[in-house]
Amino acid sequence: MYEDHEQVTVDITRRFSIVTFSNNVLRSNSNPGIRAIFVFDKEELPEYFIDSLSMNFKLIKVLNFEHSLLKRVPENLGNLFHLKYLNLSHTEVTVLPRTIGNLLNLETLDLRQTKVRELPMEIKKLTKLRLLTVYYKYDEGNYSTLNDTTGVQMQEGIGCLKSLQNLYFLEADHGGIDCMQELKKLKQVKKLGIRCVQSAQGNALCAAIGEMNFLESLNITAKAEEEILDLDFVSAPRYLRVINIKARLTRFPDWIPELEYLVKLMLGFSNFEHDPLDSLRKLPHLSRLNLWDDAFSGDSLHFKVGGFPKLKELDLTRLNKLSSISIDREALLALEHFRCHDNPQLKVLPKDLQNLENLKYLEFADMPAELVDSIDPNKDGPCHRIINHIPRVQVREKVESSFPKYELRPIPTQLNI
């Protein structure tokens, strides 16, 4: 990153370093050679360090506070006219100053795992901005996959950021239809994450995404489980490689099976009544498939002959009605990892697992005791022979009720004894 410029690391992991190194740098009125600062901190950052940045490092291009204890961004940060890269991720920052709009050369603004919830209107002046990542993902508490992440709200004007290539996560319910229509102007976007989408915004969102010819990664999350989205693209971006949709849909999107470059597909809350596997089985490059949170509301899944030729990872989680899985002998030939979590009606081990000769890892979590006991050789499990060819088999079990306390218990097989 900016390898042609000298990089200076301000290491303030110890208070001794603050006094002997940082002060020497900060008190100098001329630091023409400094182009990049990386801050590594285990304690609260001193006020003089933060407030002196724009005065002592006027030519700085890279400023990285990732994982530091930074609590605020100074108003005078906007004076760093040459700044191209600003990383505030995993800090305690909650608000950006309006002077952020003065950073006209800024290309990257990283706000991952911060609690910044709204971007100032002045952000629309950053016409060179290419990467804008703003979200906070919760790792504890009773959060479903629908609300385990929060994004950011933005005032009108997002359409001015015409250089954007990465934008996630934007809260769609704040700007309404107008926000979706402004997205049409962002024709360079390659990675897009939209949260809190409402039913009334479905058509406008599809129209905007249809203009993003370079889009490779798409993440859409509905505002609530009862919201039903119609994601009917007239022409979906042909280069899509990653799709993550967490929303109840009016029907299975018929454009997904046409995506010849699709590598990862994650669906949740879709409530498809009919087995979607037949529509997906011929995707030539699909390597990962996740069906979560009643993406499929039927009772049986069937992996047919010749299906999913490149699939390596399969994850079936919280499919509450799923009671049986069948796998034809010539299906899933490349599958290496299979995870099956919290499917309460799946009480019988799929006997067709013995057909998966390349399977390297099998994991069960929060599954019915009948299934788990059936593969445990210590309990003379009658189905242990079915999984005996798999090098690594594990059962993830809760050890207490609080989230997310689990322990892994290996199941011995002939290949791992």
| pLDDT single digits (tens) 251-269 | 899 999 999 999 999 999 9
The CA dihedral of 96, 101, 104, 106, to the nearest 10 degrees, is 20
Q: Is the pLDDT of residue 41 over 80?
A: no
Residue 17 in this model has a pLDDT that exceeds 80: no
Mean pLDDT within 237-255: 94
User: Whole-model pTM above 0.75?
Assistant: yes
| Bridge partners, residue 397, by sequence | 407
Q: What does the CA dihedral 119, 122, 126, 127 come to, rounded to 10 degrees?
A: 110
pLDDT band at residue 55 under the 50/70/90 scheme: confident
pLDDT of residue 417: 58
Q: What is the pLDDT of residue 15?
A: 32
pLDDT for 42 equals 64
Residue 307 pLDDT > 80:
yes
pLDDT above 70 for 11? no
For residues 167 and 202, the answer to whether their CB atoms sit within 8 Å is: no
Instruction: Name the band, by pLDDT with cuts 50, 70 and 90, for residue 18.
Output: very low
Rg over CA atoms, the chain: 25
The residue-averaged pLDDT of 45-67 equals: 82
Closest CA to 297 of 274, 280, 315: 274
Instruction: Indicate whether 275 pLDDT > 60.
Output: yes
Mean pLDDT of the chain: 87
Count the helix, strand and coil residues of the chain and give each as a percent rounded to the nearest 5.
Answer: 20, 25, 50
pLDDT 10s digits, 183-216: 999 999 999 999 999 999 999 999 999 999 999 9
Distance CA 339, CA 67 (A): 31
In the chain, the percentage of residues whose pLDDT exceeds 90 is: 67
361-408 residue pLDDT tens: 999 999 999 999 999 999 999 999 999 999 999 998 877 655 556 788
| Residue 405, SS3 per DSSP | coil
Judging by beta carbons within 10 Å of its beta carbon (0-12, 13-18, 19+), is residue 157 exposed, middle or buried? Answer: middle
Instruction: Tell me what pLDDT residue 16 has.
Output: 27
Whether 118 shows a pLDDT value over 50: the answer reads yes
The residue that leads in pLDDT, 56 or 163, is 163
SS3 372: helix
- Say whether pLDDT at 179 is over 90: no
pLDDT at 144: 63
Would you say residue 19 has pLDDT above 80? no
Which residue in 297, 305, 301 sits closest to 289, CA to CA? Answer: 301
For residue 120, cis peptide bond before it (omega within 30 degrees of 0): no
Reported as a single tens digit per residue, the pLDDT across 318-333 is 999 999 999 999 999 9
The label of the residue with tokens 């005996």 reads 388
DSSP, collapsed to helix, strand or coil, labels residue 210 as coil
Token pair for residue 252? 């299975």
Is residue 179 helix, strand or coil? helix
Lowest mean pLDDT among 7-21, 50-64, 290-304: 7-21
Give tens-digit pLDDT for 145-170: 788 899 999 878 899 999 999 999 99
d(CA 356, CA 330) in angstroms, rounded, equals: 9
Say if CB 27 and CB 57 are below 8 A apart: no
Q: Is the pLDDT of residue 122 over 70?
A: yes
What's the pLDDT at 1? Answer: 39
pLDDT score at 127: 96
Task: Return the minimum-mean-pLDDT range out of 8-17, 115-124, 130-139, 207-216.
Answer: 8-17
